[in-house]
Amino acid sequence: MKVSTPLLGLLLASSTTAWTAQADDKTQRLEQLEQQIAELKKEVNANTKSSADLTPKIKIGGAVRFQYSYEDYDDDNKDRGGDFDFDTFRLDVNGSIGDVRVSAQYRWYQYMDVVHHAYAAYDFNENGEGQVGITQVPFGNLNYNSNSFFFSSAYYTGLEDDYDTGLSFIGKYDNHDIRIAYFVNDELGGLDGYVDNRTDRYS
């Protein structure tokens, strides 16, 4: 009996050591699994965020404009008390798809319907932006200064609010506004564009 007591103590001590080693091993494995789960969650969140970034964020807008005219030199108009006529209907599409911005505008007038502008843009950095599509010609009065139905003589000579098809770069650095552009043709597609009337251009 005296001989078996130390043996029993030795067995208990070794079993306690083995149990402690198993518990430590399980704790370590549990920590590894928790770390792997945290990494998987990060990957899932990153993938979800990148998918969300590619979701189009588009806003639709527009305007409608009417005009009232009283012409004292026209007896019929004067007898009617003037005319209230439709002038313009405008549809705007603006937004982004990922890092690419899009902007387009279509206009319906009494006498024609036209594309005003339609381009995709990308910001290279906080100062520089590239545009491709029907973009504003960087020449003359930017952006424009006409404020009446008849615009100004600058518009009719191509020095204001002029748009063509091509590529452009806009850079704003301190007090400098740099615009470089290359235009392939007008917004209707050049000389062989399939259009009924080549005068149906906004510019």
Q: Which of 25-34, 101-110, 143-152, 173-182 has the lowest mean pLDDT?
A: 143-152
Higher pLDDT, 19 or 113: 113
Q: Calculate mean pLDDT across residues 134-147.
A: 82
* The residue to which tokens 């590619």 are assigned: 54
Weakest-pLDDT range from 36-40, 79-83, 122-126, 198-202: 198-202
Q: What is the 3-state secondary structure (H, E, C) of the chain?
A: CCCHHHHHHHHHHHHHHHHHHHHHHHHHHHHHHHHHHHHHHHHHHHHHHHHHHCCCEEEEEEEEEEEEECCCCCHHHHHHCCEEEEEEEEEEEEEEECCEEEEEEEEEECCCEEEEEEEEEEECCCCEEEEEEEEECCCCECCCCCCCCCCCHHHHCCCECCEEEEEEEEEEECCEEEEEEEEEEECCCCCCCCCCCCCCCCC
- Determine the average pLDDT of the residues in 107-134: 91
Residue 154: is it exposed, middle or buried by C-beta count within 10 angstroms (0-12/13-18/19+)?
Answer: middle
| One-letter amino acid of 41 | K
d(CA 130, CA 188): 21
Mean pLDDT of the chain: 81
- Of 24-38, 53-67, 128-142, 163-177, give the lowest mean pLDDT range: 24-38
Task: Say what the pTM is.
Answer: 0.66
Query: Which of 19-28, 29-38, 132-141, 192-201 is the most confident on average?
Result: 132-141
Q: What is the pLDDT of residues 145-181, one digit of tens each?
A: 777 767 788 888 888 888 999 999 999 888 898 999 9
pLDDT at residue 108 greater than cutoff 80: yes
Say if CB 135 and CB 166 are below 8 A apart.
yes
- Specify the pLDDT at position 16: 56
